[in-house]
Amino acid sequence: MAEKRGCGFDSLVRDCYRSGGYVFAPSPATLQDRHAITRIARLASNENPDPPSPRAIEMAVAALSQANRYPDEHVTGLVRALREYHGPYNFVVGVGMDGVIETILRTLVAAGDRVVVSTPTFSFYRLAAIGQGAEVREVLRRKDFSVDITRFLKEAQAAKVAFLCSPNNPTGTVTSCSEVEEILGAMEGVLFLDNAYVEFCYEDYRPLMKKYDNLIIGRTMSKAFSLAGLRVGYAFVPDWIVPCYSRAATPFSLNSVSAAAAIGALQDPAHVARARDRVFGLRKMVTERCRFPVTPSGANFVLVDVSPRTGREVSEELATKGVLVRSCESFPGLGDQYIRVSIGEEWEMELFISEINRL
């Protein structure tokens, strides 16, 4: 047996995991310790400020008492609840949409295959694709953050998988159904359309599933459904994906308590409607009253251009006032002059507006 070598194992670690990695939003605990602030506006992670639906909690508690058993490997109850909520589509589920993205890539992408992303966007597509040994191509969005379809297609035509986020994180930009169709019609590979924030816009992409069998639509229960801490994601998939996805997935990855909570949450659509109404109202308020330019958003957050200051400076300054927002400097393809601000409760947005307008 080898003797203990301390840090001498670096050469065993794959190149892609020697540095970099997912950038997490600042945590409220750090802020509490650093600035002794007790009431914090948590506007950095695009969560729903409402606790989960009582029905979700009730079902999760009931499931906990049977946690000595492994979950149902087919997640039958949740798939049935998804069909009741959305209609007769094919679904796969995962540990958050992050888990779905990872399993889809594991299912489809081998080392050297091309994966395309439309930047600036959610960072995990790239990270998960690199984990598969993919060749990642980033296609820059236009100045107004809309997708340059011609440039995107030039790269995506030969891709195994292309990712498109709508509404896009961190810009909030919505790509229309007709633009998505233009891409789908010209692609040989699969388009993964990330709809994490779709409940907060007016576009409905689900009908496209009936027309295209190279489309996957990712969804999450972390935002509109208030279940971020339970990690439930799912996707609308063409039928050919279902058996291969099951083979590639980690066994029993979605735990039984989370699956039960998700079923309960889907049975309370009024919860989502409340979140949607609040986001529509407060997003408009922030857009109108913020003295810095706000990018039009279809999500539960807005991107604010704080130039000539940097996103880092402004987010650090807001933190000292008890307002946590996300500096966007870590998003490739975006300048360093942006912050992303989640739409929280009314008092949080009032506090944000008064502090940012005072800068």
Task: Enumerate binding residues for ligand PMP (CB under 6 A).
Answer: 46, 96-98, 122, 165, 169, 194, 196, 220, 222, 228, 233
Angle at 41 between CA 39 and CA 46, to 5 degrees: 145
| Beta-bridge partner residues of 232 | 95, 96
46 versus 132: smaller Cβ distance to ligand PMP: 46
Question: Closest approach of Cβ 183 to ligand PMP, in Å?
Answer: 17
| Lookup result for tokens 């599933």 | 209
Task: Determine the Cα–Cα distance for residues 307 and 109; give it in Å rounded to an integer.
Answer: 39
327 Cβ partners below 8 Å, 6+ apart? Answer: 310, 311, 312, 314, 315, 316, 338, 339
Residue nearest to ligand PMP (CB): 96
| Beta-bridge partner residues of 339 | 304, 327
Question: Closest approach of Cβ 217 to ligand PMP, in Å?
Answer: 12
Question: Closest approach of Cβ 162 to ligand PMP, in Å?
Answer: 15
141 versus 355: smaller Cβ distance to ligand PMP: 141
Q: In this structure, are residues 203 and 329 in contact, taking their beta carbons and an 8 Å threshold?
A: no
225 versus 352: smaller Cβ distance to ligand PMP: 225
103 versus 310: smaller Cβ distance to ligand PMP: 103
96 versus 353: smaller Cβ distance to ligand PMP: 96
Question: Closest approach of Cβ 123 to ligand PMP, in Å?
Answer: 9
45 Cβ partners below 8 Å, 6+ apart? Answer: 25, 228, 326, 342
Question: Closest approach of Cβ 200 to ligand PMP, in Å?
Answer: 12
Question: Closest approach of Cβ 262 to ligand PMP, in Å?
Answer: 11
127 versus 290: smaller Cβ distance to ligand PMP: 127
Q: To which H or E segment does residue 96 belong? A: helix 96-108
167 versus 264: smaller Cβ distance to ligand PMP: 167
Task: Determine the Cα–Cα distance for residues 275 and 280; give it in Å rounded to an integer.
Answer: 9
Question: Closest approach of Cβ 171 to ligand PMP, in Å?
Answer: 11
Question: Closest approach of Cβ 41 to ligand PMP, in Å?
Answer: 18
225 versus 355: smaller Cβ distance to ligand PMP: 225
Q: Give strand ranges (E) for 157-261.
A: 161-165, 190-194, 215-220, 232-237
Q: To which H or E segment does residue 93 belong? A: strand 90-95
CA atoms within 13 A of residue 134's CA, in its CB half-sphere: 26
